[in-house]
Amino acid sequence: MNILLIIPGSGDRFYCGNCFRDYLYVEALRRAGHEAVVMPLYLPFTDKSFDANTPLFFPATSYYVAQKFFPKGNIPKCLEKLLDFPSVLRIASSFSGATSAKGMETMTLSMIKGDDVNFLKQAEKMVDWIVHHRRPDVIHLSSSLLIGMAQAIKTRINIPVVCSLQDEEIWIESLESRYAHQAWASIREHLHHINKFVVSSEFYRLTALQKMPDIAPIEVVYPGVDSGKYASSNDPQHPVIGFFYRMNYENGLDILAQAFVALKKEESIPNLKLKIGGGYTRENAKLLHRVRHLLKPYAQDVIWSEPYSLAQHADFYKEISVICAPLRFNESVGLYVCESFAAGRPAVAPHTGSFSETVANAGALYAPNTPDALANAIKQLLTDGARYKQCCQNALHLSQTRYNQTTLASRLQEIYEGCL
């Protein structure tokens, strides 16, 4: 089967949940023998793992300027060409990764509505390329934030369109209320252009239904990890808490840092270490400065895994005892949890969002999401040898039965075939 996956590029500077979910889809489909073609939007993928072999459409630099200053679609061609030079795109990548839509309201609504001049101009280029170079059996959109493309695709070519949903409301709700209302209304208007919606957890299926009661059937597809990459026969010499996600406030790195300091002060877990990875962008600099200062008394026990690289994933999990990301929002699925399970490492997570579903019996949940509650949950797990060993076994079992590549590819194939 030939599947075209349309995926926004994030600049490859940090662990992006949506991007990594898309990467898992691509990898699983290719290993199952399907032709999975990646079409990047906004920014190019510098990491070769994606093997994106199409032109870059809706380039972030020129598209943003066109939306901001040339709403009638009359951006000068010389300026458009200059803004889309690879060097300019690389500079834009270094500033990518905003967690708020502030300043990008027009661009966000443009991609959802799909009816302004600049959008239609870019969409025509994209669809022309699809028609003449790579006519797939199914097109898979990474997010409903791209749903405006579905109409442009269906108008020209009769190809089923599948759309993933994952934490869109976090971006949309960061818009001013009038823009957020328009965004949800426009998504609902385009629902009929989508053949199937895909989510990564039952929790998020229910969340999507609350936002969009009229949505088409939603399929739950759990992430699938290549367990062979993560398999580890040796535990770390000393207990190591791992954080592998974008290093920002929303993902609770400061909460974990405070919990680690509390554990070190009480000395309840001898030789305890903290390993931090996942990357960051410039807007995270202030938080990181605060976290480094907080951890300074125990700097010799803190391992910073930098810079971020997609290839680092597997090795990171082999060197930790437990994964932890004390998120301040309700996440649709913790992909880092699924990866950790592939290495046989349990998780400690707040009792929010999808964690009760994702972690199940392979770790510990705690509430409220405070440093003290987190420290206590980590201590109880790492000081109880029998419980920890059982959680490790449960993690491997979940990896083998739920979060594996074979199951993922089979579910996606089932959904795609159902659309044809």
pLDDT at 320: 97
Give me the residues paired with residue 220 across strands: 199
- Residues 198 and 336 occupy one common structural domain: no
- Residues 392 and 414 occupy one common structural domain: no
pLDDT at 92: 72
Q: Average pLDDT for residues 183-192, to the nearest whole number?
A: 94
- Look at residue 202 and tell me whether its pLDDT is greater than 90: yes
Provide the domain count of the chain: 2
**C-alpha span between 365 and 369 (Å, rounded):** 10
E-state strands within 217-346: 218-220, 240-244, 273-277, 302-305, 322-324
Most distant CA pair in the chain: distance in Å?
67
CATH number, position 234? 3.40.50.2000
- Look at residue 52 and tell me whether its pLDDT is greater than 90: no
pLDDT at 330: 94
- Look at residue 93 and tell me whether its pLDDT is greater than 70: no
Q: Residue 345 belongs to what domain range?
A: 227-401
E-state strands within 62-199: 138-141, 161-164, 196-199
- Residues 234 and 356 occupy one common structural domain: yes
What does the buried/exposed string (b/e) look like for 223-232 if buried means 16 or more CB atoms within 10 Å of the residue's CB? Answer: bbbbbebbeb
Q: Average pLDDT for residues 78-104, to the nearest whole number?
A: 73
Structure tokens at 238: 């000393």
Structure tokens at 361: 């019996």
- Residues 57 and 202 occupy one common structural domain: yes
- Residues 169 and 215 occupy one common structural domain: yes
CA distances from 312 to 278, 279, 307 (A): 9, 11, 9
- Residues 77 and 171 occupy one common structural domain: yes
- Residues 235 and 166 occupy one common structural domain: no
- Residues 201 and 343 occupy one common structural domain: no
- Residues 248 and 158 occupy one common structural domain: no
Residues, the chain, total?
420
Q: Which amino acid is at 165?
A: L
From the CB of residue 178, how many other CB atoms can be counted at a distance below 10 Å?
A: 9
The pLDDT tens digits for 269-319 are 999 999 999 988 888 999 999 999 999 999 999 999 988 877 777 899 999
Structure tokens at 55: 């032109």
15, 24 contact by CB (below 8 A): no
- Residues 306 and 191 occupy one common structural domain: no
Q: Kindly state the percentage of the chain with pLDDT values over 70.
A: 95
- Residues 345 and 394 occupy one common structural domain: yes
Structure tokens at 56: 């870059």
**Measured at the alpha carbon of residue 201, what is the angle toward residues 240 and 340, in degrees to the nearest 5?**
20
The pLDDT tens digits for 380-401 are 999 999 999 999 999 999 999 9
228, 188 contact by CB (below 8 A): no
The pLDDT tens digits for 243-254 are 999 999 999 999
From the CB of residue 284, how many other CB atoms can be counted at a distance below 10 Å?
A: 21
pTM (global) more than 0.85:
yes
Lowest mean pLDDT among 50-59, 60-69, 107-116, 237-246: 50-59
- Residues 200 and 232 occupy one common structural domain: no
- Look at residue 329 and tell me whether its pLDDT is greater than 60: yes
Structure tokens at 206: 């229910």
